[in-house]
Structure 1
Amino acid sequence: MNDPRHVLVVGGTSGIGLEVARHFAAAGDDVVLTGRDHGRAESVAKELGGTARGLALELTEVDAIATALTSVERVDHLVLSAVDRDHNTAAEYNTAGALQLVTLKLVGYTEVVHAVLPRMGRDASIVVFGGLAKDRPYPGSTTVSTVNGGVIGMVHTLAAELAPIRVNAVHPAIVGDSPYWSAKPTAVLEGFRSRTPTGRLPAMADVVDSVAFLLRNPSVNGVNLPVDGGWLLQ
């Protein structure tokens, strides 16, 4: 039997991040998950059971990240899945919203890596969450598309800087059973599904499986993996 891995899931209290934390907790790994609200993080960790525990972490408060993660003694796998949604256009540009998302993902994610790096071994691995708005922009995705494009550069530079620690990213398309998308009208989801070669939208379980693969495979490094059912082919 393998020893438990020490898994840190940043943004693990809801959505796909929660399903990632659930996956590793069910496997018997030591899971630390974070969320903005301490009570929520503790409640979710208790639900997962085992040794899972929750911490409060606000990625936009970058100077407080290291202190918030002080109690994390070891990290074998780091998953950076926290997201924020910013509907922004160049014509009606909300700089406050844009700065929040840029800070959360590009600065906050990197500061988490900086904070826990001394507790990561040579065989450790990192998965960063991006998204396919980088390839399929839409009205209002000015910041989202830009930031997810920045994730590509982040993965490449971190993979080079942190070697032999591996760094990869997963870029999901529309995840049909995620809390955000499952609440959309059926006609909206069908419109996307009809343009996907597999005839189905990605599910949260598909994304979790992709994250687990990227974390465990020792020869996959510096990869930005789309999980889209071939949607980008259309």
Structure 2
Amino acid sequence: MSSVLVVGGTSGIGREFARLRAQRGDEVVLTGRDAHRADTVAKEIGARQGLALDLARPRGIAAALAGVGRVDHLVIAGVSRDENRVAEYDIDAALRLVTLKLVGYTEVVHALGPRLHEDSAIVLFGGQAKERPYPGATTVATVNAGVRGLVNTLAVELAPVRVNAVHPGVVGDSPYWAGKPEEVLAGLRARTPSGRLATMADVVDAVDFLLRNRSVNAVELTVDGGWMLG
């Protein structure tokens, strides 16, 4: 049995990963911004505990994680999106997202430092907007590219703890994409060599692999069905 912490585990891919590991019998702690929701989701999926933690408020992260013990596997899946363009730049929105994704992720690792051990493994979430930005992705693309540098520096500083990243493309059944018009999704499928969009189960499997394989370190794993080639 492993001890697993999923930061951003109340919805989407984070929730699906937490559910998988809880079903396997692992001791899972998940976090979300809202304490009641985190507790409710933890009970629904069989996790040990749900905690309130806001990645965009990094000064409160250490206190939020104070009761967490030894961590074998850490997944930081908390994400957010803003619609930000250079021509109409929203500084407050940009600061929130940059803080959440880069400062917040780093502070989680910092706060948990003494509870990691030589066989611990970490997976951070990025995204393919870093390679194929879309209108309004100014900040999203930037922070997802920043995950690359964060993975590398953490892998060096935390050695022998392994640190990897997963970069999903369009995840067709995720909360963000599932509600898009079918013609939009059909167009994306047509430009994907595999002929199908990635699923949350695909990404969960990729995260599990990155945590499990002890020779995979400082790797950025793309899960997009070859979408970047389309």
Alignment TM class, shorter chain as reference: over 0.9
Distance in structure 1 (CA, Å) of the matches to 2:173 and 2:59? 35
User: 2:174 is matched by which residue type in structure 1?
Assistant: S
Give 1:69-88 correspondences, 5 Å limit: 69-88=65-84
Match for residue 33 of structure 1 among 20, 30, 35: 30
1:226 paired to 2:222? yes
Look up the match of 1:138. Answer: 134
1:6 paired to 2:8? no
Question: In the TM superposition, what is the alpha-carbon distance from 1:5 to its structure 2 partner?
Answer: 0.4
Question: In the TM superposition, what is the alpha-carbon distance from 1:168 to its structure 2 partner?
Answer: 0.2
Look up the match of 1:206. Answer: 202
SS in 2 for 1:90: coil
SS in 2 for 1:75: coil
Distance in structure 1 (CA, Å) of the matches to 2:84 and 2:69? 39
Question: In the TM superposition, what is the alpha-carbon distance from 1:61 to its structure 2 partner?
Answer: 1.2
Instruction: Name the % identity.
Output: 66
Question: In the TM superposition, what is the alpha-carbon distance from 1:60 to its structure 2 partner?
Answer: 1.3
SS in 2 for 1:84: coil
Give 1:111-122 correspondences, 5 Å limit: 111-122=107-118
Q: Please report the RMSD computed on the Cα atoms of aligned residues, expressed in angstroms.
A: 0.6
Gaps of 5+ in 2: none
Instruction: Tell me which stretches of 4 or more aligned residues in structure 1 moved more than 4 Å.
Output: none
User: 2:92 is matched by which residue type in structure 1?
Assistant: A
| TM-score between both structures, scaled by the size of structure 1 | 0.97
Deviations 1:158-197 (A, max 9, x none): 1111110000000000000111100000000011100001
Distance in structure 1 (CA, Å) of the matches to 2:56 and 2:145? 19
User: Aligned residue pairs: how many?
Assistant: 230
Gaps of 5+ in 1: none
Give 1:1-234 correspondences, 5 Å limit: 4-49=1-46, 51-234=47-230
Question: In the TM superposition, what is the alpha-carbon distance from 1:52 to its structure 2 partner?
Answer: 2.1
Distance in structure 2 (CA, Å) of the matches to 1:198 and 1:64? 43
Distance in structure 1 (CA, Å) of the matches to 2:172 and 2:57? 31
Question: In the TM superposition, what is the alpha-carbon distance from 1:215 to its structure 2 partner?
Answer: 0.3
Distance in structure 1 (CA, Å) of the matches to 2:17 and 2:105? 17
SS in 1 for 2:225: coil
